[in-house]
Amino acid sequence: MSHNFTQGPLPMSSFPGTRFRRTRANAALRAMVQENALSPADFIWPVFVRDGDGVREPIASMPGVDRLSVDLVVEAAKQAHSLSIPAICLFPYTDPALKTKDCAEAWNPENLSNRATRAIKDAVPDIAIMTDVALDPYNIDGHDGFVEDGYVLNDRTVEALVKQALSQANAGADIIGPSDMMDGRIGAMRQALEAEGHTNVCILSYTAKYASAFYGPFRDAVGASGALKGDKKSYQMNPGNGNEALRLVARDLAEGADMVMVKPGMAYLDICHRVKADFGVPTFAYQVSGEYAMLKGAAERGWLEGERVMMESLMAFKRAGCDGILTYFAPAASRVLQA
């Protein structure tokens, strides 16, 4: 008879018949009974791309992370492939002169993201490329959508996001990552992708993306923090809500999402667990810039053991039920796992 663990633990003998420390006594025993494991195949590596040639520009608020010109992004992709990381995610740092009210650079075939995608596919065809679908890197207002009278418009934004997604798919993206949180965008993108013959392009939807204070360093990295007027609470989720996340997952799956994401990750592990338990679909979490910066900054100051907290934080996602993690630690963690 199978046991339902939600009804409580199985009966067991009392001490000393049961000693939990027996299976912790040495490394071999600990490895035998470990319930969850990490692999480089669990990681998607977010990479920031900028204009220029041979440019590596450190991001002050994200120690160890740089903006890279397209040629160096290609080298990063080669590095990821050599470490068995299956995918990278591109985020552009757009020249402020190209940021406009109409955000037309977002679907320019020659924008940074599309040029980087084509260059990577030429050099490392086996690595999967994920792209970001949102208007904030191209928007003079710093928002993920068009702003009118201080409010971000939904339907007009979705029309633009569809054009952006098609532009990225035409450039060779394998995974489209809508991070905008507009209503109806997954269905619109899926319909357009199918109509244009992109039947194998996956959608990894930022389904439960919270209006979080942990995004600050990322906005520095893509140059959106200075442009942003107001906040994103009218379209990103309220951190106090959990059930809403499950409703959003159900909606995005019904509209054609292949995979779903919870963002941020570490502060929302309960949501990761609930999504995986309730839906059983490929579930990802984003260990966002602020989470990375906290751990990395504390480790650089000697307050935490950097390698150990890195690996422990990543294991938490697996234990919560995640199938994969977007993390800036991807190369470093993969080296530890392959050592």
272 close to 317: Cβ distance less than 8 angstroms: yes
Q: Cα–Cα distance between 305 and 300 in angstroms, integer?
A: 9
DSSP label at residue 296: H
Task: Name 188's Cβ contacts closer than 8 Å, sequence gap at least 6.
Answer: 158, 159, 161, 162
Across-strand partners of 50?
A: 69
Q: Cα–Cα distance between 250 and 257 in angstroms, integer?
A: 10
Known active-site residue 263:
yes
Helix axes 243-255, 185-195, angle to 10 degrees: 20
Name the catalytic one among 121, 209, 276, 296: 209
Known active-site residue 78:
no
92 close to 113: Cβ distance less than 8 angstroms: yes
Exposure of 147 in the CB half-sphere (CA atoms within 13 A): 20
DSSP label at residue 61: T
Task: Name 154's Cβ contacts closer than 8 Å, sequence gap at least 6.
Answer: 145, 182, 183, 184, 235
Name the catalytic one among 263, 276, 296, 318: 263
Q: Cα–Cα distance between 43 and 60 in angstroms, integer?
A: 24
Give the number of residues written for the chain: 339
193 close to 187: Cβ distance less than 8 angstroms: no
Task: Name 153's Cβ contacts closer than 8 Å, sequence gap at least 6.
Answer: 145, 146, 147
Amino acid type, 11 = P
Exposure of 336 in the CB half-sphere (CA atoms within 13 A): 16
Q: What are the catalytic residues?
A: 209, 263
